[in-house]
Amino acid sequence: MTVLGEHRHVDAGIPSHDSAPHAPSAATASVPESGAWRPERGAGDRQFVEIGQLALENGEVLDDVTIAFETWGELDPDRGNAVLVLHALTGDSHVRGPAGGGHPSAGWWEEMVGPGRPIDTDRFHVIAPNVLGGCQGTTGPSSPAADGRPYGSRFPVITTRDQVAAERRLRDLLGIEHWALVIGGSMGGMRAIEWGVSHPDEVERLCIIASSARATADQIAWNNAQIASIQLDPEFRGGDYYDDGNGQGPRSGLGIARRIAHTTYRTAEELESRFGNQAQGLEDPYDGRGRHQVTSYLDHHAVKLARRFDANSYITLAQTMSTHDVGRGRGGVVQALGRVRARTLVVAINSDRLFPPALVEEIAQHVPQAQWQVAASPVGHDAFLLAHPGLEEWIGTLIGD
């Protein structure tokens, strides 16, 4: 096992900061009803492609679908150097680049993608789309439907396969016939393995990090608790809270969902080593008014997410993750994974309690000739976002020729 480098704290796809958070009441004062991207905020580095109607796995049709994406590096004349990078649950297309100009956070994987990085943009043309159902420019619940109003509660249930179908339509419209590499971690890894199974002849190399071929009961249970916390917020209004006139929205419920999720992304040992039972500043948690440091930390991440994400998208994507199963309708997971033809790297994190190594290894066991690696880290699931020599070496070997 390779030990991950000194960890930098991350926010499920977006680097975070360790500055002391403010109290929840003060911090939420400027939080909008939805943190979804809007055109008036500026496109930033986003590009947009209209992919038209998309037939969904449940039989419904989603009209006028838009995909937002970002690119780095030049596409070769033979269009054979395209790499697809797939983000996690609350990530987006902004893999690298500064915050600002329409981007609420700096790039979430700059250590891995860029000139001279393991995914070298001097060699590869990297494409990172915002996922279908997301809220950073791609069609999702906060997007306008045909009547001009946000979809809200009318947005259909979508699956991982629907998301891959949208990404495939994007690729076709960009004139790319196959991917030199498809790579993703966590929810992005779910889409990556679906790419390898659904379109085995269109993926040359495949990298799955801290992800799985199917959702587990444990993952579904955690997702259910997060979804319920949003839906039970009085400001959720059945999913139709956009422009409700009071600027509230279900930010409290979204914040609770974030606290639950963030706890599963870390380890008990890491939280204990950082915070223990220490009070925040001079506050006394034992007088009923103060807070513990770990409570302040979770409050901070809750408010931070509410400023840049949409509650309906959170529900949509969590439900999508819960229905993920590459074996559905294909004779089971083992038979489905046997369809993969790509040169495949599968990486687990030894302390990951959301995607434990035994679950991740299921992919490596059944994908023909997959390379299997386990990285050691005290951080837990979020460690997949951190730069470290092991992952750099393994990806370098995968794409070395």
Q: Determine the pLDDT at residue 10.
A: 32
What's domain 2-398's superfamily in CATH?
Answer: Alpha/Beta hydrolase fold, catalytic domain (3.40.50.1820)
Structure tokens of 248?
């509230």
Average pLDDT over all residues of the chain: 91
Q: Determine the pLDDT at residue 281.
A: 86
Residues 54-96: tens digit of each pLDDT? 999 999 999 999 999 999 999 999 999 999 999 999 999 999 9
The full set of domain ranges for the chain reads 2-398
Residues 272-307: tens digit of each pLDDT? 999 999 999 888 888 878 899 999 999 999 999 999
Catalytic residue list: 186, 352, 381
- Residue 339 predicted with pLDDT over 90: yes
